[in-house]
Amino acid sequence: MNPIFRIFRYLRHFPWQIGLNIFFNLLHIVCNLGTYVMIVPFVELLFGGGNVPDAEPAFAFSQEQLADWAFWHLHRYRDTLGLWNCLLIIAGGYLACSLLSNLFRYLSYVFLNITRNGLIEHLRNDLYKRITILPVSFFGRRRRGDLISRMANDLGDVEWSVVSTLEALVRDPINVIVFCAALLFVSWRLFVLFLLVLPVGVWLMTRIGHSLKRNSQRGQDRLGSLFGLLDESLMGLRVIKSFGREKDSEQRFRRANEDYARTMVQVARRRELSSPLSEILGTLALVIVLIVGGSWVIGGHIQPSVFIFFVIIFARLIPPLQSIVRAYNSLQKGSASATRFLEVLDADELIVEKPDAHVLQGFGQGLELRDVSFSYEAEGTSHTVLNHINLMISKGQTVAIVGPSGAGKSTMVDLLPRFYDPTGGTILIDGYPLGDLNINSVRRQFGLVSQSCILFNDTVANNIAFGSESYTREQIREAARIAHADEFIESLPQGYDTQVGDRGLTLSGGQRQRLSIARAVLRDTPILILDEATSALDSESERAVQLALETVMQGRTSIVIAHRLSTIRHADCIIVLDQGCIVEQGSHDQLIALNGLYKKLVDMQSFIK
């Protein structure tokens, strides 16, 4: 299915708005046609070029008989009321038709804008919902800048292409049909001349539209890359400056920007070509009509005022035809953007929940990884991260996971709240396989404190509560106290109402980490995952955060990924991973006695028992 047609499916949410838009457009077009009809009596009264019958003709719906009937009555009214009064009446009718036409056009735009903004609102909501449920692996393969570009620029292109297409689908076809019917009624012979030129114009516009779609797709891809570069530069600004690579970064961005600008010039060149082409074809058709129709007026085959009416209606037919052409080209450009936009909506939701999934009410026994393996595909090659992991974690235990970089530690804990699904084996909570459980009920059992602490540009209190309004200020304060964060929060300018800035950069690393711990405390989950929560901190901050963590871990099942092995020596069980396999398992003393990989890691950190 054409991507843009899939976008149109969202119009089902706005049936009465679309209906009213069509209704008012029809009234606008009829009143607009009425303004041109009023030109005929003006010309006839002022110049009197028509042949007036001697007796009142019979009324009939044919061009000749209707014209004779109207001209006979018009001249009779002129003789009765006077020329000046007749002109005033016709002018009043013209003004009334014009006022009504513009009123109905305004009302049609009101309902069109309701439809447009509502449609984009639904699209944006669906995209954001999709982003929140897609697996973490999806975002690891894509640049954030490209995703932002799809939500902003591509959706903007879709919005305007939909608007122009809606107008082309509603107002302009009605306009063309009504005006063509009027032309056909006035003179079918002249109308046939116009139809001879139409297929040539349609063929040329179709060729331009296909070219426009290809270049638009290329342009949107390059804009996504441009946003990706910008996002990378903003995130790595300190590195760029410290290595003195400002010039290199600038040139890299400049090249990408030049490629995008060059592509958009090609898009604009093809888009703007459609307007002069359609203008030329319309003018050619009009010249043919003027020459042929003029000869018929000279030969007495058509009334001069009727011919003038035909020429005016014909000239007014060209703009809606041009509008349809522009809408078609806009549709092609929007189709390219819709394709990129729908790629996100159509992305595989790898984490699938069963329709009859069991809702986990709490955590009562423990976790089990039974022969769990995990691998991912990259460039057609399978990469194994975890290989046949077997592990039991009882309720209330503190289990530490250590190992060299790339051993699979973070991947292993990411499988527990179903950020990923294992490619082999089974993970069970309280005896239930994760795949049989409601995803949200599973994730409610886990609290996460990671090395890269995520804070939002909001107040301290709202960051701890994470936007939930179900927590009182006292509960927030208590969570901060347990996380040893209340001491620095009270010293902030507005206390708990202090804005932490973008990503919490107004706070130190240790302060951000303690707010993250307070967030986990407030959620009060039975299982706590600590993913190298202190590895990026200085010694003083590490002591404060470690003290907070020890308080939080009491009475909870804790799974700790540790880089600094001194922080996990009192863990109930230490798991040593290497190349995706569990190579050692036991307490600190037991692993030291094995004199294996764990002891090697300890010695490398100069840790003395």
Helix (H, G, I), strand (E, B) or coil at 424: strand
Q: How far apart are CA 391 and CA 581, in angstroms?
A: 11
Q: Give the pLDDT confidence score for residue 608 in this predicted structure.
A: 42
**pLDDT of 368-381, one tens digit each?**
999 999 887 765 66
Contact residues for 379 (Cβ-Cβ < 8 A; gap 6+): none
CA distances (Å), origin 41, targets 51, 89, 493: 13, 11, 79
**pLDDT of 282-329, one tens digit each?**
667 777 777 777 787 777 777 776 677 777 777 777 777 777 766 776
Is 581 among the domain residues?
no
On the question of pLDDT at 607 being above 50, the answer is no
Q: Give the pLDDT confidence score for residue 103 in this predicted structure.
A: 93
Q: What is the mean pLDDT of the chain?
A: 76
Q: How far apart are CA 314 and CA 194, in angstroms?
A: 9
Helix (H) or strand (E) holding 527: strand 527-531
376 against 332, higher pLDDT: 376
Q: Which whole number is the average pLDDT over 595-609?
A: 72
Q: How far apart are CA 411 and CA 343, in angstroms?
A: 26
Q: Are 448 and 423 in contact (CB under 8 A)?
A: no
Q: Which whole number is the average pLDDT over 114-120?
A: 83
Q: How far apart are CA 437 and CA 351, in angstroms?
A: 12
Is 155 among the domain residues?
yes
Strand partners, 606: none
560 against 273, higher pLDDT: 560
pTM for the whole structure = 0.61
**pLDDT of 393-423, one tens digit each?**
888 888 989 888 888 888 888 888 888 888 8
Query: Which of 15-19, 108-112, 275-279, 600-604 comes out lowest in average pLDDT?
Result: 275-279
**What does DSSP say about strands 573-578 and 424-429: parallel, antiparallel, or unpaired?**
unpaired
Is 257 among the domain residues?
yes
On the question of pLDDT at 12 being above 80, the answer is yes
Is 488 among the domain residues?
no
34 against 464, higher pLDDT: 464
Contact residues for 266 (Cβ-Cβ < 8 A; gap 6+): 215
Which strands form 366-378's sheet, in the order they lie side by side? Answer: 381-394, 366-378, 424-429, 432-433
Query: Structural domain tally of the chain?
Result: 1
For residue 390, which amino acid is it? N
DSSP structure string for 348-393: ---SPPPTTPBPP----SEEEEEEEEEEEEETTEEEEEEEEEEEEE
Q: How far apart are CA 589 and CA 605, in angstroms?
A: 16
At 142, the pLDDT band (50, 70, 90 cuts) reads low
Is 544 among the domain residues?
no
Is 206 among the domain residues?
yes
Q: Are 338 and 3 in contact (CB under 8 A)?
A: yes
On the question of pLDDT at 34 being above 80, the answer is no
CA distances (Å), origin 25, targets 12, 38, 104, 162, 179: 19, 20, 7, 17, 14
Q: Are 527 and 557 in contact (CB under 8 A)?
A: yes
User: What's the CATH number where 138 sits?
Assistant: 1.20.1560.10
Task: Note the residue count of the chain.
Answer: 609
Structure tokens, 499: 């804005």
Query: Which of 109-118, 205-214, 415-424, 456-465 comes out lowest in average pLDDT?
Result: 205-214
**pLDDT of 551-591, one tens digit each?**
777 778 888 887 777 677 788 898 888 888 989 888 888 88
Q: How far apart are CA 329 and CA 601, in angstroms?
A: 63
Q: Give the pLDDT confidence score for residue 62 in this predicted structure.
A: 55
**pLDDT of 480-517, one tens digit each?**
888 778 878 888 888 888 888 776 777 877 788 888 88
Q: Are 578 and 387 in contact (CB under 8 A)?
A: no
Q: How far apart are CA 584 and CA 225, in angstroms?
A: 44
Q: Are 15 and 9 in contact (CB under 8 A)?
A: no
Q: Give the pLDDT confidence score for residue 371 in this predicted structure.
A: 92
On the question of pLDDT at 127 being above 60, the answer is yes
For residue 102, which amino acid is it? N
Q: Are 526 and 556 in contact (CB under 8 A)?
A: yes
Is 70 among the domain residues?
yes
Q: Give the pLDDT confidence score for residue 163 in this predicted structure.
A: 64
Strand partners, 375: 384
Is 561 among the domain residues?
no
On the question of pLDDT at 51 being above 80, the answer is no
| Sign of the Cα pseudo-torsion (23, 29, 30, 31, in order) | positive
Q: Cα–chain-centroid distance for residue 569? A: 48
Domain that holds residue 327: 3-345
Q: How far apart are CA 533 and CA 550, in angstroms?
A: 12
Long-range contacts of 533-539 (CB under 8 A, 24+ apart): 533/449, 533/450, 533/451, 533/560, 534/564, 534/567, 535/451, 535/563, 535/564, 536/451, 536/452, 536/509, 537/509, 537/510, 537/513, 538/509, 538/510
At 79, the pLDDT band (50, 70, 90 cuts) reads low
On the question of pLDDT at 56 being above 50, the answer is yes
At 55, the pLDDT band (50, 70, 90 cuts) reads low
DSSP structure string for 255-289: HHHHHHHHHHHHHHHHHHHHHHHHHHHHHHHHHHH
Q: Give the pLDDT confidence score for residue 259 in this predicted structure.
A: 79
Helix (H) or strand (E) holding 29: helix 15-37
Q: What are phi and psi of 528, to 5 degrees?
A: -120, 125
Q: Give the pLDDT confidence score for residue 609 in this predicted structure.
A: 44
Q: Give the pLDDT confidence score for residue 555 in this predicted structure.
A: 77
Residue for token pair 């951000």? 512
At 426, the pLDDT band (50, 70, 90 cuts) reads very high
